[in-house]
Structure 1
Amino acid sequence: MPVSHAHSHSLHGPSPLGPLAAKIVVGLLIAIGVVVLTGAAWLWPSQQKVNIPLPYQNAAGGAVSTEAGHVLSSSAATCGDQTVGTVITTQPNPAGGPDAVCVHSLIAIDSGPNRGANTLLEFGVGPGQPKLMVGDHIRITRQVDPTGLTTYSFYDYERKWPLTAIAAAFALVVVAVAGWRGLRALVGILVAFIVLVVFMLPALRDGSAAIPVALVASAVILYAE
C-alpha cells in the first residue's frame, strides 16, 4: 500500500536569519555606516563663497534681493517715464494719447525697507511681456546703486502659496492612498532633498569628485530611510 507524504510549504515571507548571519549583517551595516560618515566628513563642503552669476547680481555685485508686491492699477501710457522703478508715495498721472504704447503698472511694495510705498513698472506690448492685472501678487527686485538710490523691477509672479497648496494636496493624496507607506515615502523624499541641498550640490560646487560624493549621498539617504 503506497504511503502518502504530506509536504507543507510556508508562504509567510523569507526565513529568518540565523544568529551568526544576523551578526554578520549587523556588523557589515555598522562598518559601512562608519565608512559613510567618514566619507561625509571628508567630502563635507567648505562653505566657501562662489561668484554669483551675472543675471542674479545686483549693481554692487551681491545677490539680487526680491520683495513682495501687488498690483494697484495698470494702464496704457507713454514710454520712458522718469519715475519708473523708483520709490513713489503719490499717485502717478500716466500720459495717454496716441503715443501710449507702453503699459504702466502701479505696484504696492509689501516687504522690505520701503514697505508701504509704491513703485511704477513699465512694460512693452507684445509677446513675452507680463500682463499684470489689478490684485496680482508679484515679486520685484530691489536694487540700490552706489549713491543710495533704490530702484525696483519686475521679477516674477508670486508662486509660494500656489506651490505650497499643490505640495500639500499631493502629500494628502499620497497619505490617503498609501497610508503609512505613503508617509514614509514622503519622509524619504524630504530626506533626499535635504541631503541634495545641504551636502551633495555644495560638495560638487567645491570641486569634490562626483562619484564619491554620489556614493556617500546615496548611502546616507538609504540609511535615513
Structure 2
Amino acid sequence: MTHHHAIQPPEGPPRPRLAWSLAAVVVVLALLSLAALGVLWPDRADVPQGADPYGNVAILDAEVTKATPFDCNSSGIGPDNTPMVEGSCAQVTAETERGTTAVFTLDPTRYVGAGMEPGDQIRVIEIAPEGQQATYEFYDHQRGSQLGILAIVFAVLVALVGRWRGFFALIGIGITLLILLRFVMPALLADRPPIAVAVAGSTVIMLAVLYLAHGISIRTTSALFGTLFGIAFTAIIGAATTDWAHLTGIGSEDDHLLLATAPQMSLAGVVAASMVIAGLGVLNDVTVTQASAVWEMRALKPTAGRTELFTSAMRIGRDHIASSVYTLVFAYAGTAMTTLLLISAYQRSLLEVAVTEGIAQEVVRTLVGAIGLVLAVPITTAIAVWLAPAKSRPAEVQV
C-alpha cells in the first residue's frame, strides 16, 4: 500500500469566479488611477519654464588636439578662504564639429582632478556676440556613445536571459520613464498636490509593470494589492514625517534654483512625493517574491493549511526584508559617497551632519521607504495566502 498524490501546478486549478472578481477590482483601480491622472494632468501653460542659462550660446562637440599645462598661481585657497584644488591650469585647443578651433583655459579642479589629453571627446560652449570673435569655454565630456552601449548591453542581456518576461520588463521601464517625465515631473512643477501626483503616477506604473513583467494571474494580482498597500502607507507616513521632521526641501543650491524657477511649488511636498517613488523598485521586488513564494509552496505542499503556508512564506520574507534594507542603505551610501567622504575629511560627527537638511532628507526617505517595505511583506504574504489555491485533501491510499 502506498500513498500517492500529484503535485499541482503553481497556479492551481482554474478558479474563474475569483479571477473575474479580481479582474473587476483591478479594472476599477485602473480606471480610478487613470481618472486621477486626467484630473491632475497639468496644462502646458501651468508648467513653469526656466530660462536656459545657455540660451544665447551654442554647445558644440569637439575633439581635444592639445593640452598645455601652465602655472596659474593656484594656492589651494579660493574666495572666502574656501579650499580649492592646488596645481596647474591648462591651455586646451580643440577642433569643433563646425571645423573651427576652440581655445580655452581649464582650471586645476578639472585638469588636475580629471585630466585632459589629445583625442578626448568633449563639448564646448561657443559664445559668439554679433560682430565679435567667438570665445569658448569647457562644458563637459561626451558620454553619449558609452551610455548607449551600456543601455544596449543591458537590454540585450535582459531579453536573452529573461526572454519574453525580460522583453516586457523593458517595455515597463519605458512606460515608467514616460509617466515620470510626462506626468509626475510636470505636475509637481505645476504645483499639483504632490502626494496625489506620486500615488496616482506610482499606481499606473505598477499596474503596467507588474502585469507586463509577470503576466496576468491571480498571483500577480496578489503582489499588486501588496504593492498598492505599500504605496499608500509610504505616502501617508511620508507626508506626516516630512512635516514632523521640518523638512523644507531646500537643502542645496539646486533646490534654491528650482524654487526660484517655480516659486509656487511646495518643495516639502516634493520631498514627501519622492519618498513614494524612491521605494517603488524594492517594494515591487519584495511583493512579487512573497506572492511567488506562497504559490510555489502551495504547489509543493498542497495539504498545508493557511497558517502553515503563511508561516513558511514569512521565513522567506524575513530574509528578504534583511537584504532589501541593506540594499536601501547601500544605494544611498553609493549615491552620497562624495558627501560622506567630505564629512570624513572634515572629521565632523556623522550625527551632527545627519540632522542637516540635505542629509536628513535622504535619511528620512530611506527610513520611510524601509518601513513601508517591512510592513508590505506580511500584508502581501497574507493576501497571497488568502488568494492562493485552497489546500488539497490528504492523498488517497492506493494499493
**TM-score normalised per structure 2:** 0.42
Relative to 1, partners in 2 of residues 1:45 and 1:141: Cα closer, same or farther, differing over 3 Å?
Answer: farther
1:41 partner SS: helix
Unaligned runs of at least 5 residues, structure 1: 80-100
1:178 partner SS: helix
Q: Which residue of 1 aligns with 2:172?
A: 188
Higher strand residue share? 1
1:120 counterpart = 2:103: yes
Paired amino acid for 2:49: V
1:121 partner SS: strand
1:151 counterpart = 2:135: yes
Which of residues 104, 122, 127 is equivalent to 2:91? 104
CA contact under 8 A between 2:41 and 2:183: conserved in structure 1? Answer: yes
1:38 counterpart = 2:35: yes
Q: Which residue of 2 aligns with 1:218?
A: 202
Quote the Cα distance in structure 1 between the aligned partners of 2:89 and 2:19: 74
Q: 1:25 offset after TM fit, Å? A: 2.6
1:75 counterpart = 2:59: no
2:116 partner SS: coil
> For the aligned residues, what is the CA RMSD?
2.9
1:166 counterpart = 2:166: no
Relative to 1, partners in 2 of residues 1:177 and 1:23: Cα closer, same or farther, differing over 3 Å?
Answer: closer
Relative to 1, partners in 2 of residues 1:159 and 1:117: Cα closer, same or farther, differing over 3 Å?
Answer: same
Quote the Cα distance in structure 1 between the aligned partners of 2:30 and 2:24: 10
Any idea what the Cα deviations from partners look like across 1:188-221, whole Å, max 9, x if unmatched?
Answer: 2222122111111111121111222122212222
Structure possessing the higher radius of gyration over alpha carbons? 1
Relative to 1, partners in 2 of residues 1:128 and 1:77: Cα closer, same or farther, differing over 3 Å?
Answer: closer
Relative to 1, partners in 2 of residues 1:30 and 1:137: Cα closer, same or farther, differing over 3 Å?
Answer: same
Higher helix residue share? 2
CA contact under 8 A between 2:57 and 2:128: conserved in structure 1? Answer: no
CA contact under 8 A between 2:155 and 2:170: conserved in structure 1? Answer: yes
Q: Percent identity over the alignment?
A: 26
Q: Which residue of 1 aligns with 2:24?
A: 27
Quote the Cα distance in structure 1 between the aligned partners of 2:178 and 2:196: 18
**TM-score normalised per structure 1:** 0.70
1:12 partner SS: coil
Any idea what the Cα deviations from partners look like across 1:100-129, whole Å, max 9, x if unmatched?
Answer: x6422111111xxxx1211101124x3443
